[in-house]
Structure 1
Amino acid sequence: MTVGVLIITHDNIGPSLLNIANDILGSCPLQLKVLHVTRASHLEFLQAQAQVLINSLDTGHGVLILTDMYGSTPSNIACNAADKKHAQVVSGLNLPMLIRVLNYSRLSLNELTEKAISGGREGVHICLTTIEKHNDTR
């Protein structure tokens, strides 16, 4: 009894992130499906497919939809699909966000949505170079 997760992204971003997450974690603890959008995709088909995937993922606890870029076709498909179902959409998908979601698989839809947002935000850092680190110690 967990929240389902639907990833809607451009091309192979979603499957690639999911493969990496599975390598890191060893498995996927949630019901999760991926819908990838290409230039050749037909919008009506994708919209219908998103509805089918959401229906298959929703066991009564809702569906968290993760998209790669706000305002893009995947994001628009997700927002349209979420309007018709018990679902939340979070854009800006990155690997820390996905790992966070997979690590908190027992949370409610609202709690998992917050974890996705915090994981995405907290996964963004300015990385100091070796020279910058050396200069900071002086």
Structure 2
Amino acid sequence: MIGLVFAGHGKFPEGLRNSTEMISGEMIQTEVVSLMPEDDPSSYGKRLEKAVNRMDTGDGVLVLADLRGGTPFNQSLMLCQKKHIYIVVGMNLPLALTANLNRNEDTTLDELAQCLIDAAPDSIDLVKYTYEGE
């Protein structure tokens, strides 16, 4: 099965995992690697690599990163050179749910990543209500 790693700033990745589990049930083969204010990029990168190694059982790892250009994304990108990982950046609850619910023994990393990219436009929307009061 494809491993999942939530990589992001502060407590956001942990909260996202908790919310995903509240809706879709326990997430197996999933880790959170949070960048905290006291972390430097190098130490964060080492923790991220260890998490990726633990999650990779041979089918690859999908990293969900919060922000393009941020340390979690940049350190994930560096791992792409030596690990079988894909990164989907801009993680949010709908995408985390999509990732968790579409992983199975038959899903490839390419298929799962494409599934998230296809779902991404529907994960955000603008809802406007015009109040017509007295």
Fold conserved between structures, TM > 0.5: yes
* Matches of 1:19 and 1:82, distance apart in 2: 26
Report the 3-state secondary structure (helix = DSSP H, G, I; strand = E; otherwise coil) of the residue aligned with 1:69.
coil
Partner of residue 87, structure 1: 85
* Matches of 1:75 and 1:66, distance apart in 2: 9
Task: Quote the offset at 1:110 in angstroms.
Answer: 0.6
Task: Quote the offset at 1:119 in angstroms.
Answer: 2.7
* Matches of 1:99 and 1:67, distance apart in 2: 14
* Matches of 1:131 and 1:83, distance apart in 2: 52
Runs of 5+ in structure 1 lacking a partner?
133-138
User: Aligned residues: percent identity?
Assistant: 27
* 2:117 paired with 1:121: no
- CA offsets per residue over residues 15-55 of structure 1, 9 Å max, x none? 00110111111222x41001000221022211111111111
Higher helix share: 1
RMSD: 1.5
* Matches of 2:22 and 2:8, distance apart in 1: 20
Report the 3-state secondary structure (helix = DSSP H, G, I; strand = E; otherwise coil) of the residue aligned with 1:66.
strand
* Matches of 1:38 and 1:53, distance apart in 2: 16
TM-score (normalizing by structure 2): 0.90
Aligned length: 130
Runs of 5+ in structure 2 lacking a partner?
none
Task: Quote the offset at 1:122 in angstroms.
Answer: 1.2
What letter corresponds to residue 117 of structure 1 in structure 2? I
* 2:7 paired with 1:15: no
* Matches of 1:64 and 1:84, distance apart in 2: 14
* Dislocated runs of 4+, deviation >4 Å: none
TM-score (normalizing by structure 1): 0.88
